[in-house]
Chains A and B, each alone.
Chain A
């Protein structure tokens, strides 16, 4: 079965310091993985996606993630946090067969950025 585990429910960083949001996945086949960001009372915005091409994926707003099959991880990073990065982040894996209609969401990581 497909699943994702976001290891931290809350992460707090200072502005200008690196961000690391952790995600581990479980999949019975080669998965597609995504990171979405959700600002309060807003929908979800796609940050980046991995679809079996390059293992290091660059996304919007300076975020990137590296797919590590040996570690079944897809951690999200950013070299320098900005106040506007404060939001909830979801790691997502496609469901059985890779269909996008069976997205499986992690429980989310709330990122706080301190001035």
Chain B
């Protein structure tokens, strides 16, 4: 079946540094990928929609200059948390849709636990 790989699974970084998270669709092409953020004991919140070959679409309240998204190929989207601060510590999850219809199932990565010290 379809698999979405997310890397790294865990990362600890110092305040002020940048962290890149990769999301790959392993056996299908994904023109659209999605990035979610999950705070402890809370639900997932959509941060942005990553579109292959064009700019990402950010949800209201998400700083596009802080959370840089690049979708350079049909199988890879990256999320870079720039100048990370402790409040950016969270669980980030990506997802990808194999097809283009609203009915297409989403496949989720296993998430990245970011801790900023």
| A-B complex is real | yes
**In angstroms, how far is the closest chain A Cβ from the Cβ of B97?**
5
Measured CA separation A102–B95 after assembly (Å): 12
Partner of A107, one of B34, B42, B49, B91: B42
User: In the complex, are the beta carbons of A105 and B44 less than 8 A apart?
Assistant: yes
Size range of the interface on A?
A: 20 to 34
User: Count of B residues near A, CB < 8 Å?
Assistant: 25
Residue of A nearest to B105 (CB): A46
Query: For the complex, is B18 an interface residue (Cβ under 8 Å from A)?
Result: no
Residues on the B chain within 8 Å of A105, using CB: 43-45
Q: In the complex, are the beta carbons of A32 and B103 less than 8 A apart?
A: yes
Q: How far is the CA of A106 from the CA of B42 in the complex (A)?
A: 9
**Pairs across A and B, CB under 8 Å, 18 listed:** A32-B103, A41-B110, A41-B113, A42-B111, A43-B4, A43-B6, A43-B109, A44-B44, A49-B105, A51-B103, A90-B43, A100-B97, A100-B103, A100-B106, A105-B45, A106-B43, A107-B42, A108-B43
Binding site for B on A (CB under 8 A): 32, 36, 41-46, 49, 51, 90, 94, 97-103, 105-108
